[in-house]
Amino acid sequence: MRMYDLILKKRKGEALTKEEIYFFIEGYTKGSIPDYQVSALLMAVYFQKMNKEETVYLTEAMMHSGEVIDLSSIEGIKVDKHSTGGVGDKTTIALAPIAAACGIPVAKMSGRGLGHTGGTIDKLESIPGFCVEMTKETFIQNVNVMKLAIAGQTANLTPADKKLYALRDVTATVDNISLIASSIMSKKLASGADAIVLDVKTGSGAFMQDIDEAFLLAKEMVDIGNRVGRETVAIVTDMNQPLGYAIGNSLEVKEAVQLLKGEGPKDLEKLCITLGAHMLLLGKKVGTEYEGKRMAKAAIDSGEALNVLKNFVKQQNGQIDCIENLDLLPKTKEVYSLKADKRGYIHKIQGDIVGASALTLGAGRDTKDSKIDLSVGILLNKKMGDYVETGEVLAYIHYNDENRRDLAIEQLLKAYEIEDEAPEHRPLIFGVVT
């Protein structure tokens, strides 16, 4: 088999076979096929697209390019949740204990990654002492005992995707539905869960800004999961403004814990309860979404989910008193109040701009070697649809460096649009794809 023939075949719009896709993924992973040929193939895929079979073969080939985690020694149906990412998305920190409190084993591998803020792992590390490195045996034992463990992704998970994603990034071939869906699903499948709930975000703070594209991506990923025998459901949700009020690592942990204490923001709570209900459905703990929502809500109201979180933090060496007293989490030296320069209704808090502003403060990584400041971030005081008076606080900027603060303010101001009339309501949940 020659890579040249595969490139030509795809350039002409023909479908690649399973053998051809495995040939290219295996060759690229071990280094026998060079970047320039894979770049050419990616560009051909970008223009000619892949059909469903090709997308499934690509996913499976990438999934098997490295370690595939075996969770079979964990009792029960393991349900994982994945979000395509957004600004202020701290859902996992609250949702995982909710699902675990309802009896779902949650064995989660999470990433760090680049972004406006850190990934779930970075966020959890703002709890002093919290450790995400553990042996496979400890990981499995923790889930069997407490129904919940969150670990950093092993280095050898889907190496083909790591190489391919980096190459797509520099060859303008990221935004192709088959390539995105196979990239995300290969990692999820290799992480070993039996069933998967996907939170596909859409709007200005999301990867998929267009709602129709978000539904297409959701459908593609659900089809892949179901074809390889892992029951998969996707919920398409709003990311046109940040989720909740907090953006920044320790601020987000604080907000997620507040939710479990019954004091969380309504949008975050609604999202956690909806995603939780679908995890419970896939885990066969309930028969309907309605029952699932009631069970998830009861886990919050009874304090059971908070107890699970505390045990989980303790088990992973985190300082439990930081959960009891949230003021002990990392804090900045200074907080600046950003005030409205006119009165009216907030029409826009553009997610990507808020994210960029948080990144400027140091909440995220520009490059994979950047160091995150876990304490900095933005705490919104108002959300879309709220009315503000001139001089009222729009957001609190938590900062450690004045130069960064000034740049962040300049950016953040551009995220807002304030008008005389109230804006149209935008739903949080757009739909469920099964």
Residues that bind ligand URA in the complex, under the rule CB under 6 A: 165, 174, 179-180, 183-184, 207
Cβ 174 to ligand URA shortest distance, Å: 6
Our CB check for ligand URA shows the closer of 75 and 366 to be: 366
The reply to whether 250 belongs to the active site is no
Please give the sequence-ordered ranges of beta strands (E in DSSP) within 341-427, or none if there are none: 344-349, 377-380, 387-388, 393-399, 416-419
Cβ 319 to ligand URA shortest distance, Å: 31
SS3 345: strand
Q: Which residue among 10, 116, 163, 168 is the active-site one?
A: 168
Our CB check for ligand URA shows the closer of 180 and 306 to be: 180
Our CB check for ligand URA shows the closer of 161 and 255 to be: 161
The reply to whether 183 belongs to the active site is yes
CB 225 within 8 A of CB 72: no
How is residue 103 annotated by DSSP? T
Determine the Cα–Cα distance for residues 112 and 151; give it in Å rounded to an integer.
11
Our CB check for ligand URA shows the closer of 113 and 303 to be: 113
Determine the Cα–Cα distance for residues 387 and 432; give it in Å rounded to an integer.
31
Q: Which residue among 112, 187, 188, 405 is the active-site one?
A: 187
Determine the Cα–Cα distance for residues 93 and 233; give it in Å rounded to an integer.
20
Q: Considering only CA atoms, which of 208, 277, 280, 244 is closest in space to residue 123?
A: 244
Determine the Cα–Cα distance for residues 281 and 300; give it in Å rounded to an integer.
18
Ranges of H-type helices in 34-79 = 35-48, 52-63
The residue number with the shortest CB distance to ligand URA is 183
Q: Considering only CA atoms, which of 193, 124, 186 is closest in space to residue 160?
A: 186
Structure tokens at 418: 């304030």
Cβ 113 to ligand URA shortest distance, Å: 8
CB 149 within 8 A of CB 133: no
Cβ 360 to ligand URA shortest distance, Å: 22
The reply to whether 168 belongs to the active site is yes
Cβ 207 to ligand URA shortest distance, Å: 6
Our CB check for ligand URA shows the closer of 165 and 336 to be: 165
Our CB check for ligand URA shows the closer of 92 and 375 to be: 92
Measured from the Cβ of residue 262, the count of other Cβ atoms closer than 10 Å reads: 12
The reply to whether 187 belongs to the active site is yes
Q: Which residue among 183, 186, 250, 375 is the active-site one?
A: 183
Tokens 């719009």 locate to 13
Determine the Cα–Cα distance for residues 265 and 167; give it in Å rounded to an integer.
39
Cβ 285 to ligand URA shortest distance, Å: 28
Determine the Cα–Cα distance for residues 251 and 257; give it in Å rounded to an integer.
10
Q: Which residue among 82, 163, 285, 293 is the active-site one?
A: 82
Q: Considering only CA atoms, which of 55, 68, 64, 65 is closest in space to residue 182?
A: 55
Cβ 183 to ligand URA shortest distance, Å: 3
Our CB check for ligand URA shows the closer of 44 and 184 to be: 184
Q: Which residues contact 269 (CB under 8 A, 6 or more apart)?
A: 259, 300
The reply to whether 194 belongs to the active site is no
Indicate which residues carry an active-site annotation. 82, 161, 168, 183, 187
